[in-house]
Amino acid sequence: MNNFNNIRNQPIGVFDSGIGGLTVLAEIERLMPGENIIYFGDTARVPYGNKTSATVKKFSVENVLFLLEERVKMVVVACNTSSALALDYLNNIFRIPIIGVIESGVNKALAVTSGKIGIIGTKATIESRAYQRNIAKKNKKIKIFSKSCPLFVPLVEEGLVNGEITKKTIQMYLESFKKKKIDTIILGCTHYPLLKEEIAKYLQKVNIVDSAQEVASHAKDVLGHFKLISGKKAKGNNKFCISDEPKNFTNFAKLFLKRNIPEPKIVNV
Ligand code: DGL
């Protein structure tokens, strides 16, 4: 019984290529305030979105190994690129529950769509066709449109979440979706929830699926299934680890989480 309680009170590990996964951390924190969370942002090797599948797999394995050293009870892959290219690989190697963002985003999109879904993400995510395959496996009748939006990540990282340049970039990438009259869009990159308002204004009356919200509720279901939900009543602690220079990370974290965070620890993976 003691052992079992120990496992329940171990932290949830969350990793991303950098800062984007903080949108997932925020949702996990909101849904499961008693959980301790360790966040790892691979800021030395970001972006993953333009790397090969072999490289993303290698980085993802190293990230999980690091989180295991921190004794996490589960891992949430809070990066679409890593989820698209490496999730199955990770689950073949490791024994603890490891979940990604794709399945949760797809389930939500299928629950709200009337038949035409648009998917946006990094080049690697879109080219992997992971979202497209997942949707087709569950419903062959859905019309799927996809678009990689490589300029969205740097826009968010520059804090340009609204304003003229952002509006024009959204129009450039999403004009074709508007013409195709999609009814649902999946934000298939962890940075994109910060552009949600502007995307909603541009597309109008389109369901916006933010995988960050969906994966948090999937994480809760998985922990519940394995009876691993923390027994603690008090608010959980967060620990932030990154692989490079903390200054930018701390500034971004403020933008993403709307609060100050403890000093991140720089680690080698
Ligand atoms: N976090 C990545 C994702 O969700 C975006 C940034 C990157 O390219 O590494 O796909």
Residues 193-244: tens digit of each pLDDT: 999 999 999 999 999 998 888 899 999 999 999 999 997 888 999 999 999 9
- The answer on 127 and 177 residing in a single domain is yes
- The answer on 183 and 96 residing in a single domain is no
Q: Quick one: pLDDT at residue 1?
A: 45
**Residue to probe by mutation, ligand 1, list 148, 189, 242, 249, most atoms within 8 Å of CB:** 189
Residues 57-88: tens digit of each pLDDT: 999 999 999 999 999 999 999 999 999 999 99
Higher pLDDT, 138 or 3: 138
- The answer on 226 and 96 residing in a single domain is yes
State which of 29-33, 141-145, 210-214 shows the largest mean pLDDT: 141-145
pTM for this entry: 0.92
HSE of 258, CA atoms in CB hemisphere, 13 A: 5
241 annotated active-site = no
Q: What CATH number is associated with residue 228?
A: 3.40.50.1860
- The answer on 218 and 85 residing in a single domain is yes
Ligand 1 near 17 CB (within 6 A)? yes
Query: In angstroms, rounded to a whole number, what is the distance separating the alpha carbons of residues 24 and 100?
Result: 11
- The answer on 218 and 97 residing in a single domain is yes
Structural domain harbouring 167: 102-211
Which whole number is the average pLDDT over 107-129?
96
Total structural domains within the chain: 2
- The answer on 200 and 109 residing in a single domain is yes
- The answer on 240 and 165 residing in a single domain is no
Q: Quick one: pLDDT at residue 142?
A: 98
